[in-house]
Amino acid sequence: MNLPFPLCPLTFSQTKREIVRLIRKVLNGNGYWAIVEKETTRIVESILLKQLPEKHGLPTQDYEVGWHLWQASPVPNPKE
């Protein structure tokens, strides 16, 4: 039997590396990703990478890329 993970106990960093490896293998980079501000660890942007299917649902070489940006500070109200 070929298991996708080892049977022996792993350290925290080994576990983290294994999870990242499995995600990369399964998702091939596809999915939702967060961009985090280094100083505050606040999420400032999210990104989507999705492989587009053809009409029968099989993956193509085409990808959809999307993103959402957050404001760094509140927009002033022009009515004030």
Indicate whether 22 belongs to any domain: no
The percentage of residues in the chain with a pLDDT greater than 90, rounded to a whole number, is 6
pLDDT digits (tens, 9 = 90+) for 23-33: 776 677 788 88
d(CA 80, CA 58): 53
Quick: pLDDT tens for 10-46.
Answer: 788 888 887 777 777 667 778 888 888 888 888 888 8
Residue 49 lies in a domain: yes
Number of domains in the chain: 1
Residue type, 52: L
Q: Is residue 67 in a domain?
A: yes
Query: 3-state DSSP helix/strand/coil percent for the chain, to nearest 5?
Result: 20, 35, 45
Task: Note down the domain range covering 53.
Answer: 29-72
- Is pLDDT at 55 greater than 80 in this prediction? yes
Q: Do the Cβ atoms of 49 and 63 come closer than 8 Å?
A: yes
**Residue 23 domain flag:** no
In the block, which residue shows the tokens 């939702």? 32
pTM of the predicted structure, to 2 decimals: 0.47
